Chains A and B, each alone.
Chain A
Amino acid sequence: MTKETYLHEKHVQLGAKMVDFAGWHMPVQYTSIIEEHKTVREAVGLFDVSHMGEVFVSGKDALKFLNKIVPQDISNLNYEKAVYCQLPNKNGGLIDDLIIYKLGIQSYLIICNASRIDEDLNWMVRNKRGLDVKIDNQSHNYSLLAIQGPKAAELMQKMGLNTQQSSFTIKAGEVCGIKVLASRTGYTGEDGFELLVENEFSEDLWDKILEYGKEFGIKPIGLGARDTLRLEAALHLYGNDLDETTTPVEAGLSWSIPKDKQDDYNGKEVIMAQLQNGVEKKLVGLKMLDKSIARHEYEVFFNGEKIGKVTSGGVSPILGANIALAYVKNIKEICTGTIVQVMIREKLHDAEIVKRPFVPKRNRITI
């Protein structure tokens, strides 16, 4: 049975094209993916991302527990701060990627991918043995609305939110009198907020944001543009760019892993060895040199030899070029500037390895 968010009716009324995504009936686009994409880059867009999972973790051993399941050092996570994390298995392969928030003493919030909630919970329960920790899946009680774009902060301020908060922080607040947990995060490369709200207030919040947002040129944005936006920002999509056979080091996420974390965590041995000795495959950004489009699973070649495959690919409406993320053999000849080929419908098409992100991120806000 396909699930619906509390905003489902709103999407249908707005004429959205609906698709099944990770077991949810979600809007893929309202008008045009390219138009919606540009709205987020130039003004502000509103996303319903209520399909994502919210898991509250609390108890005397909450910190110890989190430090056991992620490579990041949660001991360094201060009150109202957020950190991007991964959930590795014993081999360093990724069960999911997450954001962990510190809400209070011994109290944390995990936001995880919709498609992985069950796997994540199973894994967490297996890892809590002997620890005094409560894992409370509240995904069914909360809606999540993302407001993203250069005008997002101005809009939120106008709606009464105290926007004096830096990137990767979370604060309890009110938007037009509606109680929210406001996180200054997103999945677009732009500045913006993700508002966690109890389901019963979500429709009201949605309507008010669209109403107040009119003067800023707001539009509702579907999952189609969410994907093209995150690809331009070279943000990983779980299931495409990350999975249980891929470690965070291979995925180009070494920047997120502390080298000096004391606690033992799942996959630490593999991850630490890879940080020290290197990896067999690495994630790179590709820019197609012709009009062709590289897609998920297309093979990548170098000097006639197969060296890897594309995990995410598509158009970049901002660059006017086609881009992709691919895993390739980690050898020094294959680096930024190297021309490789992507096999598309039995023909090889040139692509250049370029730096990630493809479009500069503008989401680092320090207050």
Chain B
Amino acid sequence: MSITEKILCSKSHEYLLDNENGTYTVGLTDYAIEQLGDIVFLELPEVGSEFKKGEVFATIESVKAASEIYLPVSGKIVEVNEALVDAPETLNEDVYEKGWLVKIEATGDAAELNDLMEYEDYKEELE
């Protein structure tokens, strides 16, 4: 099963991957990165910080502009991808294996997943 079959995507182009150990991985979709172009800066939150669904938890900058990244479900940050902060250009190659942003413990209820889309539906929505 490829990774895109397991993720859920938000309208604002974040993905959520259930790690099946009580945590979720959050990142940006390949479409988002393609639209942004060359990534040159990334700012991630501190481990332990908490955000509500839809709150800004990180900032990404391409050559062209700065963009905010929203948490697709409420959660507490349990791990951040420090290596990515040092080499944000990695995102232009891979958004899943090396290019994930943070891992969270969900703090909201399951209904928060309702407006997230499967990758195929998300791609369709874009067209």
Contact = CB atoms under 8 A, between A and B. Distances in A.
Query: Do A and B come together as binding partners?
Result: yes
Interface of A: 17, 28-29, 32-35, 224, 228, 291-293, 295, 314-315, 345
B65 interface: yes
A315 B63 CA distance: 6
9 contacts: A28-B64, A33-B37, A33-B38, A33-B64, A35-B38, A224-B64, A295-B66, A314-B63, A345-B59
B41 A292 contact: yes
Contacts of A34: 38, 40, 63
Secondary structure class of chain A's binding surface, majority of residues: mixed
A314 B40 CA distance: 10
A24 to B, nearest CB: 17
A227 B37 CA distance: 15
Given A17-B37, A224-B64, 14 more contacts: A32-B92, A33-B37, A34-B38, A34-B40, A292-B41, A293-B41, A293-B61, A293-B66, A295-B65, A314-B63, A315-B40, A315-B63, A345-B43, A345-B59
Interface of B: 37-38, 40-41, 43, 59, 61, 63-66, 92
A104 B20 CA distance: 77
A224 B41 contact: no
A293 B40 contact: yes
A224 B59 contact: no
Contacts of A29: 37
A28 B64 CA distance: 10
Nearest to B68: A345
A135 to B, nearest CB: 36
A245 to B, nearest CB: 24
Contacts of A292: 41
A33 B63 contact: yes
B61 A224 contact: no
Contacts of B61: 293
B63 A224 contact: yes
A291 B63 contact: no
B63 A228 contact: yes
B92 to A, nearest CB: 8
Nearest to A34: B38
Contacts of A228: 63
A32 B38 contact: yes
A32 B64 CA distance: 11
A17 B85 CA distance: 26
A224 B40 contact: no
B66 to A, nearest CB: 6
Nearest to A28: B64
Contacts of A314: 63
A224 B37 CA distance: 10
A29 B35 CA distance: 11
Contacts of A32: 37-38, 92
Contacts of B92: 32
Nearest to A345: B59
Nearest to A17: B37
Contacts of A35: 38
Contacts of B63: 33-34, 224, 228, 314-315
A315 B65 CA distance: 10
Nearest to A222: B37
Contacts of A345: 43, 59
Contacts of B38: 32-35
Contacts of B43: 345
Nearest to A223: B64
Nearest to A225: B63
Top 5 nearest A-B pairs by Cβ distance?
A33-B63, A34-B38, A315-B40, A32-B38, A293-B61
Nearest to B85: A291
